[in-house]
Amino acid sequence: MAARTLRIALIPGDGIGREVIPAGRRILEALPSSFGLKFSFTHLEAGFETFQKQGVALPEKTIEVLKSDCDGALFGAVSSPTVKTEGYSSPIVALRKRLSLYANVRPVKSIRGSTRPVDLVIVRENTEDLYVKEEKTYLAPDGSKIAEAIKRISETASFNIASMAGDIALRRQRVRDAGTGAKSIHSQPLVTITHKSNVLSQTDGLFRETARRALAQSQYQMLGVEEQIVDSMVYKLFRQPEDYDVIVAPNLYGDILSDGAAALVGSLGLVPSANVGKGFVIGEPCHGSAPDIEGKGIANPIATIRSTALMLEFQGEEEAAARIYEAVDANLEEGRLLTPDMGGKATTEEIIEDVCRRL
């Protein structure tokens, strides 16, 4: 059987993105040939430093190459200007819009033996809610200011994101089944719909009803489906994280839950994400550009390595993804080589070499 070749774009961005994105390439190249995968790589530019050099944070050439010549991408990190900068806007936000990446997928997992077992994924709708950025300010009759923002929830976006959450729950189960290590803390794939329909009966009510309808499709019969009001979800997420598998939420709630959940495992340097649309995925570590450690060779590459595996998952290569996850878990569980954010003294290079060896 001929090997499958995946065309992957590497977009380091700013800061430590240039130090960790090469880890993704090396991990892919270290995968055993038995998986039948080959890779070609394209280097593309985006970020604040690109803006300073070219006047745009996301060059049109980057978009064109991604659309025409790539199957997926790895994106590093972006520095944000400390003052308002005319003409600058986030390139990753622009990429999500230009490539119709309607879902932000963020797994959060603790290592085996942790006192607080965590193994969950937050699936955040990426295109609407309050993030449509339609705001206005006007004067009340007494002359005081009133500001309003539009919260937009559509049936189409809600159906799509709930269906993706269902697909992810099933895929996670297949990855668990494909792995050779210890099984997950979850006995059945479960999707938790998060909303505030008790107050926002039309917007969140539509999200809740549509998500329920999406997950009632025949392909999701083996899933468990439940609901949580968002404030209760925050409380239970920190009190009982082991109860959750896949959490699906509108944009704002998903944003808040994602960052909060990262605290459950101790470091953003461990947490991957993927921006996903129909037919394209960008793996993206959740940490920022970390200018305080840039160039020191101590950035944690684990989030990027896990983002690389997540990218493979969405390209249908679940067994290869499982192998990468197992190699990362083995590194963390042994605890011999940890970067400073995890309380150790290991370098970026030492972590990459160790995970490659375990592959």
Contacts of 291 (CB under 8 A, 6+ apart): 15, 79
Residue 287: domain span? 4-151+248-358
Please report which confidence band the pLDDT of residue 176 belongs to, taking 50, 70 and 90 as the band edges: confident
Please report which confidence band the pLDDT of residue 302 belongs to, taking 50, 70 and 90 as the band edges: very high
| Domain-located, residue 204 | no
d(C-alpha 277, C-alpha 294), whole Å:
31
Supply the pLDDT for residue 184. Answer: 57
d(C-alpha 242, C-alpha 226), whole Å:
15
- In this predicted structure, the answer to whether residue 181 has a pLDDT above a threshold of 50 is no
Report the CATH number at residue 322. 3.40.718.10
| Domain-located, residue 219 | no
Cβ atoms of 42 and 8 closer than 8 Å: yes
| Domain-located, residue 258 | yes
d(C-alpha 283, C-alpha 303), whole Å:
10
Q: Angle between the 91-98 and 60-69 helix axes, to the nearest 10 degrees?
A: 40
Supply the pLDDT for residue 309. Answer: 96
pLDDT digits (tens, 9 = 90+) for 54-64: 999 999 999 99
**How many other β-carbons are positioned within 10 Å of the β-carbon of residue 227?**
15
Q: How many domains does the chain have?
A: 1
Taking residues 30-40, what's their average pLDDT? 95
Cβ atoms of 11 and 286 closer than 8 Å: no
| Domain-located, residue 164 | no
pLDDT digits (tens, 9 = 90+) for 46-91: 999 999 999 999 999 999 999 999 999 999 999 888 787 888 888 9
| Domain-located, residue 211 | no
| Domain-located, residue 169 | no
Query: In the beta sheet, which residues pair with residue 247?
Result: 122, 192
Q: What is the pTM of this model?
A: 0.88
- Using CA atoms, how far residue 299 sits from 186, 328, 332, 333, 353, in Å, is 31, 15, 15, 19, 14
| Domain-located, residue 100 | yes
Q: Which of 130-139, 176-185, 303-312, 337-346 shows the lowest per-residue confidence on average (mean pLDDT)?
A: 176-185
| Domain-located, residue 166 | no
For residue 235, what is the enclosing H or E element? helix 230-239
